[in-house]
Amino acid sequence: MMIEAAEVVEPDGGIKGLLGIPAFRGVAIANTLVALAFGSSRFVFVWLIGELTEWNPATAILGILLGTPHLFLSAWAGSLVDRMPPRQLGLTLMISSTLLFTVTALLVDTSLMNVPVAMVCAFITAIAPAMVTPLLQALVPTLVPAQHLMQAVAIQNLGMMVATIAGAFIGGGVIQLFGISAGFWLLAIASALAALRYAITPLPDQLAGANQSRQGAIRKGARAALGTEPLRSLLAITFIMGLAITSSVLLLPEFARDVLGKESFAAGALNAFMSIGMMGTSFLLATRWTPARPGLVLTIFTGFFLGGGLIAIGSSRVYVVTAVFAFLWGMSGGVAMTLLRTLTQLNTPPELMGRVMGLAAMAQNGAFPIGALMLFGLVSTTTVGTAMVISGIFCTICIWLVSIRSHVRSL
């Protein structure tokens, strides 16, 4: 049974109307703060490893460790979402994240911090974000009417993407001003604020269509997602998008430092330009633009711009030009990510929403260790810029292989 404050109500539409729903507003704010911590953590850990060692492949190893929890825990977390009270699950994960980032921050300024310890900290601090992502995404269809789902996803993505990528900008500035340990204190504070906001948010006792049965939970979701179209193709695109994001997250800081010769603040600013682009197109989808053929729009934006943006950035040798490419790549990403998740949720049975969102999180964020392993080989044999270009070409080919069939284009 849902508590009254968390029931789906008919909003007036647009950002103001949807944020007028107390439960959705609270989840959106908590999601933004979680994304701020998670997005900043990737940048801060990459920068920490760069300070501890000049061996470039160490960054790829870090990426593998950061993404491994998403690869192995997201699907299980999705099954928990379909069975556990969302308040209990969310608070447990957010408080755990706060404590782990706090421990890491305390270790940074001690003699104990070295490359192996940093790698372990990166791994354990990625566990809670990997498990909370399916929950925060699966809650949205329960809290808003179906006809406003795309706008709600756009609003949530607006906060999430801006926080994730702008987090690197904020993290870069904090590191430059106050040192590397301050970057980790930023993560701990953001996680604590997320837990506080989530704790006071009116939430349903369970998701719409949730089932308390423990039998075949993950297996049933996997059969529905991987055995039917268009979910199978949508998850494939999600995975490819995860590979592209991995290349950006892991290579852009090193590209800015080693190729463009910039410090941490300027390196983080490139992520800020991406976030501004994402903010613009996500806001457009939330307020003014509802594509008549969202599947076709998704195909165009991922097919031409997802890998193309990486190719353009990796080919640039001028900071201003790189910033422009980052901005344009962010614009295309805002459209692609919003439409991709909306179409995935609209084609998912309500009783499987947590599990499918867990599989989607596994596909996108679980691509991190796989992409990092690929980048390990590339940066060991080529330059950072060349590795980014090759990643872009690979993502473009994969997207068009999926888009040859009409399962997504026809949506």
pLDDT at 165: 62
Which residue type sits at 71? L
pLDDT beyond 50 at 4: no
Q: Which helix (H) or strand (E) holds 337?
A: helix 319-346
Q: Can you list the alpha helix ranges (DSSP code H) found in 366-405?
A: 367-381, 384-403
pLDDT beyond 80 at 15: no
Which value, in Å, is the radius of gyration of the alpha carbons in the chain? 20
| Banded pLDDT at 104 (limits 50, 70, 90) | very high
Q: Return d(Cα 290, Cα 349) in angstroms, integer.
A: 23
Q: Return d(Cα 50, Cα 108) in angstroms, integer.
A: 14
pLDDT beyond 50 at 400: yes
DSSP state of 230: T
Higher pLDDT, 212 or 46: 46
* Segment 37-50 mean pLDDT: 82
Cα–Cα distance list, 255 to 267, 269, 277, 380 (Å): 8, 13, 20, 14
First to last CA, the chain: 33
What does the CA dihedral 235, 238, 239, 242 come to, rounded to 10 degrees?
Answer: -160
The gap from C-alpha 66 to its chain's centroid, in whole angstroms, comes to: 12
The gap from C-alpha 169 to its chain's centroid, in whole angstroms, comes to: 16
Q: Return d(Cα 102, Cα 40) in angstroms, integer.
A: 14
pLDDT in tens, 193-237: 999 999 999 988 877 655 555 555 677 777 777 778 888 999 999
Cα–Cα distance list, 404 to 64, 216, 338 (Å): 30, 33, 22
pLDDT in tens, 294-311: 899 999 999 999 999 999
pLDDT at 189: 92
Q: Retrieve residue 393's tokens.
A: 């070409």
Q: Retrieve residue 408's tokens.
A: 């997504």
| Banded pLDDT at 64 (limits 50, 70, 90) | confident
Residue 268: phi, psi to the nearest 5?
-65, -30
Residues of the chain with pLDDT > 70, as a percent, come to 91
Cβ 237 vs Cβ 408: under 8 Å: yes
Q: Return d(Cα 62, Cα 48) in angstroms, integer.
A: 10
Cα–Cα distance list, 196 to 29, 87, 187, 189 (Å): 11, 12, 14, 11
Higher pLDDT, 367 or 218: 367
Higher pLDDT, 1 or 331: 331
pLDDT beyond 90 at 280: no
CATH topology classification for 13-209+216-403: Growth Hormone; Chain: A; (1.20.1250)
Cβ 34 vs Cβ 193: under 8 Å: no
